[in-house]
Amino acid sequence: MSPHTLEEQLIAYLTDAHALERQALAQLRRAPKLAGDEALAAVLRVHESETERHEQLVRTRLEAHGASPSRVKDAVMEAGGLGFVLFAGSQPDTPGKLAAHAYSYEHLELAAYELLARVAELAGDADTVAVAREIRDEEAAMACRIEATFDGTVAASLQAGREHDPAKLLDTYLADAHALEEQALGLLDKAIEIGGPPELTRAYADHLEETRAHGDALERRLAQRGARPSKLKDAALRVGAVNWAMFFAAQPDTPGKLAAFAFAFEHLEIAGYEQLARVARAAGDPETVALAERILREERAAAGHVADGFDVAVQGSLQALGVATA
Ligand SMILES: [Fe+2]
Ligand SMILES: [Fe+2]
Ligand SMILES: [Fe+2]
Task: Give distance in angstroms: CA of 206 to centre of ligand 1.
Answer: 31
70 vs 112: CA distance, rounded Å: 17
Q: Identify the sign of the CA torsion 144, 28, 117, 197.
A: positive
Ligand nearest to the CA of 306: 3
Ligand nearest to the CA of 211: 3
Ligand nearest to the CA of 107: 2
Digit-by-digit pLDDT tens for the chain (326 residues) are: 455 799 999 999 999 999 999 999 999 998 898 888 899 999 999 999 999 999 999 999 999 999 999 888 888 888 877 777 777 777 767 888 899 999 999 999 999 999 999 999 999 999 999 999 999 999 999 999 999 999 999 988 888 755 568 888 899 999 999 999 999 998 899 889 888 899 999 999 999 999 999 999 999 999 999 988 888 777 777 766 666 666 666 666 788 989 999 999 999 999 999 999 999 999 999 999 999 999 999 999 999 999 999 999 999 888 888 887 75
pLDDT at 54: 98
DSSP 139-181: HHHHHHHHHTTHHHHHHHHHHSGGG-SHHHHHHHHHHHHHHHH
Q: Which of 213, 193, 187, 199 is nearest to 298 (CA)?
A: 213
Q: Identify the sign of the CA torsion 10, 16, 22, 28.
A: negative
What does residue 29 show for φ and ψ, rounded to 5 degrees?
-70, -25
List, in order, residues 6 or more apart from 269 with CB less than 8 Å away: 177, 180, 181, 184, 299
pLDDT at 1: 44
Structural contact between residues 32 and 89, judged by C-beta atoms closer than 8 angstroms? no
Task: Give distance in angstroms: CA of 5 to centre of ligand 3.
Answer: 34
Ligand nearest to the CA of 53: 1
Task: Give distance in angstroms: CA of 108 to centre of ligand 3.
Answer: 15
Ion ligand 3 residues within 5 Å by Cβ:
184, 269, 299
Ligand nearest to the CA of 139: 2
